[in-house]
Chain A
Amino acid sequence: GENVEQHPSTLSVQEGDSAVIKCTYSDSASNYFPWYKQELGKRPQLIIDIRSNVGEKKDQRIAVTLNKTAKHFSLHITETQPEDSAVYFCAASPLGGSNYKLTFGKGTLLTVNP
């Protein structure tokens, strides 16, 4: 089955700096890669996703890049703000057929210091 590795496990940045979180996956059939943000005690919320027919996607201060050949994808947050502090999870899924199951990484605790 799919295995998703996520690095780093913790990341501390100063407000205004950029943050990058990286994930690798093992199943070449995976073609959908979402990122979730989970604040303490709250539900994971989808912040951005990318499909394998696209190399990069951007939404305001957040961007995701995908390298299918190398089987890795990354989340980039620019101009970080204290409210960006949370745990971020990457995930992968082989869409299509009957399998829409997401396999998650272990998460990255991002702390943005004012």
Chain B
Amino acid sequence: DTGVSQNPRHKITKRGQNVTFRCDPISEHNRLYWYRQTLGQGPEFLTYFQNEAQLEKSRLLSDRFSAERPKGSFSTLEIQRTEQGDSAMYLCASSLAGQDRVTYNYGYTFGSGTRLTVV
């Protein structure tokens, strides 16, 4: 499979519970991004990694959110003490950053997302 894979596709959890999502990027991609999308809105940036290093975190990413990419391959996004406002689609994307400015594609490849519902 050459796409970005996200698991689970759907997650329903009770308020206050912890949840963890997984993203498997395209294998040769060294950059991995997490975005959140709510109904009627564009994806909002949460954080991104180059290899295993987390290079930027949005202010949207409160201290209840943590993301890891331990070996520079798959990534996990954990939300602790979930709140109803956390209900959204969590999208993962990957891309390849390199030195070839002529031929490589800057575009992201998105996964299908994990839809989180906090009840």
**B42 A106 Cβ-Cβ under 8 A:** yes
Q: How far is the CA of A101 from the CA of B97 in the complex (A)?
A: 12
The distance from the CB of A54 to the nearest CB of chain B, in whole angstroms, is 13
Task: Give how many B residues have a beta carbon under 8 Å from the other chain's beta carbons.
Answer: 23
Given A100-B97, A105-B42; A45-B110 close (CB under 8 Å): yes
1/0 per residue, CB under 8 A from B, across A73-114: the answer is 000000000000000010101010011111111110000000
The distance from the CB of B17 to the nearest CB of chain A, in whole angstroms, is 25
Q: How far is the CA of A98 from the CA of B53 in the complex (A)?
A: 11
The contact size tier of chain A is 20 to 34
Contact of A103 among B45, B97, B108 (CB under 8 A): B45
**B42 A104 Cβ-Cβ under 8 A:** yes
Q: How far is the CA of A32 from the CA of B97 in the complex (A)?
A: 14
Contact of A100 among B41, B106, B112 (CB under 8 A): B106
B90 touches A (CB below 8 Å) = no
Nearest to B50 among chain A residues (CB) is A98
Contact of B111 among A43, A100, A102 (CB under 8 A): A43
1/0 per residue, CB under 8 A from B, across A45-87: the answer is 1100101000000000000000000000000000000000000
Q: 10 tightest CB-CB pairs across the interface, nearest first?
A: A104-B42, A46-B107, A43-B110, A43-B112, A44-B110, A89-B42, A106-B42, A104-B43, A107-B42, A105-B42
